[in-house]
Structure 1
């Protein structure tokens, strides 16, 4: 017959071993998470692209003047820019479409070897960016501002007043291309194509930066309105998608 202490010790051993056995028999959560992560998938990318004619233009131009004093250079520049603004208003440009993009005054020096720089005078420069909503009037407006006193045209760019329609069209083409690619891969791999798990987008409309004068088509002043070719803009949407596939 066992003594009382021995029986108590045996009960304690049984009590300690039971939770360990239960813990070993219970399923562990990490295994189920790993199984979900192992779900096969297709990670694909595609794009949609449309060509569209621009319906607006942006011209950057300015007036540069020089005088013996800073005050005279600025006064001369202001007088000529006043005439330029008046010409823009006569051409139908709204004030909200005119923005000063640069104003600068700098001293001008003559340099000779072995001699200190000699002040020649001052140069004032005023740059303006104008949005032309009637794209057919672009050449005529360029001529008008030159006649009013502009002596530098920095560049011209073309854009869209509302790019949403072109972007949506590119999105439709991008999704169709992605779907076609997913079906092709699934067919050739001999697997069943499941639902799309995720979709991300990039790209979209970006206004064309102004082209420098030398890249433009004949911006010199002529009797007829200066010819300007707007061409076409490219609107592109890039997408990436992940599809579930069957084993």
Structure 2
């Protein structure tokens, strides 16, 4: 195989940029996009809850929300959640008005709102933490994101599959046209690939209406697909 010059382009540019550059390549070549994916089981999760209270005064609303959040955090820590894995947002206060017909708006109270996000490193304990979230003052489980801890490991596996796919496609195309690959000219890699869950459970009503066994099954049945892709310009052998 002849020596060739290899250009590697890292970034978020579309393959159109590589195609534009390839147009100026002064020798026979072909362009392929290799794709790879790895399916893994989640081993951690992040969920968030909302605490909302409406009271006559702003002070009472804030106090009620703060007390509910404090009790929730205490329950989580008692269950083994590390403090660094609990993130409680600042409080949001807003005045609530009644708008009677043909009358001025009437102040009826104040609404306080806080969000608490919890990272769960042991997925087997997720349901018990969700049960803790359903204690006094917790109004809604907003979202449950299933994740995998060692994402980079699986991203590399998906990347290698994408590379092999690009090679296989290029070799097949070249062979089909009576030619063969004679090296790589340019690699254009999009670094924005993100893990994608097959299914996501994000409905608080769904959780509260299901039996514990059904909820357990709904999480263990989930899978995460991690994808990657690479765009490559191959040099064709000169006949």
Q: Where does structure 1 lack aligned partners over 5 or more consecutive residues?
A: 1-35
Q: CA deviation at 1:192?
A: 2.8
Q: How many residues align?
A: 210
1:149 aligned residue: 137
Between the two structures, name the one with larger relative contact order (CA 8 Å, sep ≥ 6).
Answer: 2
1:49 paired to 2:37: yes
2:74 aligned residue: 86
Give the TM-score normalised by the residue count of structure 1.
Answer: 0.78
Are the structure 2 counterparts of residues 178 and 85 from structure 1 closer, same or farther at C-alpha, using a change threshold of 3 Å?
Answer: same
1:114 aligned residue: 102
Q: CA deviation at 1:101?
A: 3.8
Q: CA deviation at 1:183?
A: 0.7
1:120-159 paired onto structure 2 within 5 Å: 120-159=108-147
Q: Which of structure 1's runs of 4+ aligned residues deviate more than 4 A?
A: 207-211, 221-226
CA distance in 2, matches of 1:132, 1:53: 15
CA distance in 2, matches of 1:192, 1:120: 78
The two structures, once aligned, show a CA RMSD in angstroms of 2.3
Question: Higher mean Cα deviation, 153-162 or 203-212?
Answer: 203-212
Q: CA deviation at 1:131?
A: 0.5
Are the structure 2 counterparts of residues 85 and 226 from structure 1 closer, same or farther at C-alpha, using a change threshold of 3 Å?
Answer: farther
Q: CA deviation at 1:50?
A: 1.1
Contact 2:38 2:226 in 1 (8 A): yes
1:24 aligned residue: none
1:32 aligned residue: none
Q: Where does structure 2 lack aligned partners over 5 or more consecutive residues?
A: 1-23
2:8 aligned residue: none
